Amino acid sequence: MGQTLLIVESPTKAKTIGKYLGSEYIVKASVGHVRDLPTKELGIEIKDDRFEPHYVPMKGKGKIISELKKAARKADQVLLAPDPDREGEAIAWHIAQELGDKKPIQRVLFHEVTKSAIQKALREPLEININKVNAQQSRRILDRMVGYKISPLLWQTVRRGLSAGRVQSVAVRLVCEREAEIKAFVPVEYWSITTTLEGEIPPSFTAKLHQIDAKKAEVSDQESAERIVADLKQLTCKISKIEKKERKRRPTPPFITSKLQQEAARKLGFSAKKTMMVAQQLYEGIELGTEGPVGLITYMRTDSVRVADSAVSECRELIANLFGQDYLPAKVQFYPNKNASQDAHEAIRPTSVTYVPNEIKDYLGKDQFNLYSLIWKRFVASQMNPARYYQTTVSIMAGENYQLRAVGRHQLFDGFLIVYEEGRDSNGDENGSDTELPALNEGEILNLKDILPKQHFTQPPPRFTESTLVKELEEKGIGRPSTYASIMSTIQDRGYVELQEKRFYPTDLGELVTDLLRQSFPDILNVSFTARMESDLDKVEEGTRDWQALLADFYRPFAAQLDTALETMREAKKAGEEVTDEICDKCGANMVVKWGRNGRFIACPNFPECKNTKDLNEVGEGNGDNRELVDVGDCPECGKPLQLRNGRFGRFISCSNYPECKYTSSVSTGVACPQEGCDGELVEKKSRKGKLFYACNRYPKCTYATWDKPYPLVCPDCDFPFLVEKKGQAAGDKLLRCSQKGCNYQAKVPIIGSKS
């Protein structure tokens, strides 16, 4: 019997699969895609509503293609086994196109790199799914047309090197719109009133004001809060009703791609890109000592929560053995998919739960172990019994008008929580209902021990984290499991957003490009339009939508917008130019902020008659008041006055006698470096992306740094040597807080005097 050539994507996967197959198989890797559209031209012939892509071998893939062709000539048949998704199907199709039809070529699909899955796939070879291929081609052509047609317009109106993306631009718009919501948000004051009560049996417990005159308590100002506090101090608190209900908390389904990315961000601090990279390693195979390479998880790009019956059976057996029958449901836990089209793959799960994380920890890197543990625990928990608890709600009447409420929880059975609990995206909310209440009885008179009125302000919507942006894209139908990680990376790499303290901020460039595209290409930036396009691509994959018709329906209005876009973008950009206080020293006009090849600068609005321009850093953010001489002492080298300037890396001090004297120094905060054993001081610095921070002037010997502006004021409560500036809850409010862990001191800026 002759040999069979089996082609996969990854060398690691090829090595793992090769372990399971005999000498009659040759296993080769394509190392991803082998063909694509050309890089220096559109590569698509558009004629009579038909779109003909012209594919070429990718740079650096010539040798690999030659090796695959050589191996194919020696084999009796060729089996193509790239990943089981659209990209994998397209890779298989491109390889088949390169190899030609001289040998039988078939497709094999497996969703986990295990011996049984591979052997089953080899027994059931398929034909290449041309609908999947066309869905991938459609997406590639759409993205190419948007990128190659719009990017040159951005070069002409903003600066060279910019690019637009069909899906990424929508993600940037979401970040920009969230930032606009935050800036427009007007905080509203409200007060909570929390009492500390004690019954006949200790301990004491807390109850919050819930109703006033049988209506929801709404306390809007300090005067009202003080009046209510005064009333409560005079009134008797009596328990009017106690409700006890047994509740269940059910486990969450096994991971799909988006949920894995969100949970890895919350619990492990992984970016979406890192999550997928580590998951790919676990999927393709890890060396487990004498056992050799083993694929530890199923395919990691999936929208499905379906699980194979064999995997469920194995999991139930493990639960019974490790945790006991109390944790094993009488029936299999079933989780429905949102729609039938998502059922092509299984959920992300361990290929075998017998590979218990702690038992194979020595063979895994730290990131591999953490992610595998997360996947293993989530899957095992999904097949366990719910947690059960009593929730007790105590209603307390203070007089006839005020109702207080206390909510407590008593766990009866931990269930799946013994293994895993889903993380949450923190938005600053606190939930006190997990507190266990003491023994109480209806009609019992309570002793009021304390009342705490507390001022609050409504909060704007939080900025997106990677986790919450992936969630938003998923909920709005933007992108697909295979694209979320690249979206997160691309919008940062292009300089349209910045990730600061794990939250996305739009850059000036991101907001400008978003505004220009929104006015010139409303469909491209439209969330609903992009979601419908994703749905249409799914229909192409299902065979219910013609891919050429989809492209034509997109291109007709797009081409019409292209005809007028350049002028529209120029007008929109000009209308949005920021007028500064800087006066043109050639013609007297107020200069405006513009964009150029190297970023923002200021220029005379009378161009081309007046061509005066200046570096924005030299004059500050749109005004000239940062060029003034400031009394910061005399130059230690020549005795001339020192000058405070703005530079590329933030503010600095230089000699006014420059360039004859080139003395410079950083702007000191007057705060000694808190690092033990360091005699440096904290000075102003500016990050590569323009954000101000404060670092020790002994760098690189000392690497201490903080984003918070320090003040040389000793904390009155704990004697920590400096305080830091933080934003308060009210708009424009600033607070000085102690940065010492465990100290809660804070005061409004400015503070006069300090403890010495």
Other beta carbons within 10 Å of 560: 10
My answer on whether 20 and 100 are in the same domain is yes
In a domain, 672, yes or no: no
Report pLDDT for 430: 43
Alpha-carbon gap, residue 261 to 423, rounded angstroms = 12
Lowest-confidence segment of 211-215, 246-250, 575-579 by average pLDDT: 575-579
CA 43 – CA 56 distance, rounded (Å): 9
> Could you tell me if 272 and 261 are in contact, meaning their C-beta atoms sit under 8 angstroms apart?
yes
The verdict on 8 and 124 lying in the same domain is yes
Band the pLDDT of 624: cuts 50, 70, 90. very low
Residue 559 sits in a domain whose CATH number is 1.10.460.10
**Are residues 174 and 205 located together in one domain of the fold?**
no
Cα–Cα distance, 577 to 593 (Å, whole number): 6
* Structural domain that includes position 108: 4-128
Q: Are residues 212 and 280 in the same domain?
A: no
pLDDT higher than threshold 80 for residue 15:
yes
Please, is 753 exposed, middle or buried when counting C-beta atoms within 10 Å of its C-beta (0-12, 13-18, 19+)? exposed
Q: Is 231 part of any domain?
A: yes
Residue 648 is assigned to a structural domain of this protein: no
Asked whether residue 373 falls in the same domain as residue 394, the answer is no
Confidence of residue 618 (pLDDT cuts 50, 70, 90): low
Sequence-separated (6 or more) residues with CB below 8 Å from residue 685 = 649, 650, 666, 692, 693, 694, 695, 705
Does 745 fall in a domain?
yes
Average pLDDT, the chain: 88
Among 347, 382, 417, where does a domain finish? 382
Clarify whether residues 111 and 165 are in a common domain.
Answer: no
Question: What local confidence, expressed as pLDDT, does residue 341 receive?
Answer: 46
pLDDT value at position 599?
66
Q: What is the pLDDT of residue 626?
A: 40
Looking at residue 647, what is its pLDDT?
55
Average pLDDT over every residue of 174-203: 93
Q: What is the pLDDT of residue 756?
A: 35
Q: What is the structure's pLDDT at 320?
A: 96
pLDDT digits (tens, 9 = 90+) for 309-358: 999 999 999 999 999 999 999 999 999 887 554 456 799 999 999 999 99
Q: For residue range 231-261, what is the model confidence (pLDDT) as tens digits? A: 999 999 999 999 999 999 999 999 999 999 9
CA dihedral 291, 294, 297, 298 (to 10 degrees): -130
648 Cβ contact list (under 8 Å, min separation 6): 617, 686
Asked if residues 475 and 468 have their Cβ atoms less than 8 Å apart, the reply is: no
Same domain, 394 and 374: no
What pLDDT is recorded for position 22?
86
> Which residues are known catalytic residues?
299
Share of the chain above pLDDT 70, in %: 90
Distance CA 602, CA 615 (A): 6
Which range, of 64-78, 103-117, 714-728, averages the lowest pLDDT?
714-728
C-alpha distances in Å from residue 671, one per residue of 119, 633, 678: 68, 18, 12
Q: Assign 3-class secondary structure to 364-422.
A: CCHHHHHHHHHHHHHHHHHCCCCEEEEEEEEEEEECCCEEEEEEEEEEEECHHHHCCCC
CA dihedral 61, 64, 69, 73 (to 10 degrees): 180
Task: Say whether pLDDT at 205 is over 80.
Answer: yes
- C-alpha–C-alpha distance, residues 533 and 521, integer Å: 15
Residues 622, 729, single domain; the answer is: no
| Region 160-175 average pLDDT | 92
The answer on pLDDT for 597 being more than 70 is: no
Separation of alpha carbons 703 and 445, rounded Å: 59
- 643 φ/ψ angles, rounded to the nearest 5 degrees: -130, 135
Which residues partner with 390 through β-bridges? 246, 410
Quick one: average pLDDT of 607-618? Answer: 76
Nearest to 385 by CA among 320, 429, 436: 320
Within 269-308, residue ranges assigned H as helices are 272-284
Of the chain, the end-to-end C-alpha distance in Å amounts to 91
- Round to whole Å and give the CA distance between 714 and 504: 33
Q: Who has greater pLDDT, 674 or 408?
A: 408
Q: Are 729 and 718 in contact (CB under 8 A)?
A: no
The phi, psi pair for 130, rounded to 5°, reads: -70, -25
Whether 637 shows a pLDDT value over 60: the answer reads yes
pLDDT value at position 747? 77
| Cα distance between residue 166 and residue 491, in whole Å | 12
What Cα–Cα distance (Å) separates residue 621 from each residue in 180, 184, 671, 731? 20, 21, 26, 21
Same domain for 428 and 347, yes or no, is: no
Query: Of 106, 128, 150, which one is at a domain's C-terminal end?
Result: 128
Lowest mean pLDDT among 173-187, 448-462, 535-549, 671-685: 671-685
CA-based nearest residue to 79, from 139, 122, 31, 130: 122
169 part of a folded domain: yes
Query: In 363-397, which positions are buried (b, 16+ CB within 10 angstroms) versus exposed (e)?
Result: bbeebbbbbbbbbbbbbbbbbbbbbebeebbbbbb
Structure tokens at 552: 């034509």
Q: Is 645 helix (H, G, I), strand (E, B) or coil?
A: strand
Same domain, 593 and 566: no
Q: Is residue 664 part of a domain?
A: no
Is 36 in contact with 54 (CB distance < 8 Å)? no
> What's the pLDDT tens digit per position in 441-460?
999 999 999 999 999 999 89
Residues 168 and 225 in one domain: no
Distance, CA of 33 to CA of 87 (rounded, Å):
8
Per-residue pLDDT tens over the stretch 514-546: 999 999 999 999 999 999 999 999 999 999 999
- DSSP-derived letter for residue 363 is G
Confidence bin at 621 (pLDDT 50/70/90):
very low
10 and 75 both lie in a single domain: yes
Residue length, the chain? 756
Peptide bond into 750 cis (omega under 30): yes
CA distances from 170 to 42, 138, 525, 552, 569 (A): 22, 18, 5, 21, 18
Sort residue 682 into left (φ over 0), alpha (ψ -120 to 50) or beta.
beta
Q: What DSSP string describes 177-230?
A: HHHHHHHH----EEEEEEEEEE-SSS--EEEEEEEETTEE--B-SHHHHHHHHH
CA distance 184 to 178: 10
Domain boundary among 332, 367, 382: 382
Say if 637 falls within a structural domain.
no
For residue 737, tell me if it sits in a domain.
yes
Number of domains in the chain: 6
Q: Is the pLDDT of residue 424 over 50?
A: yes
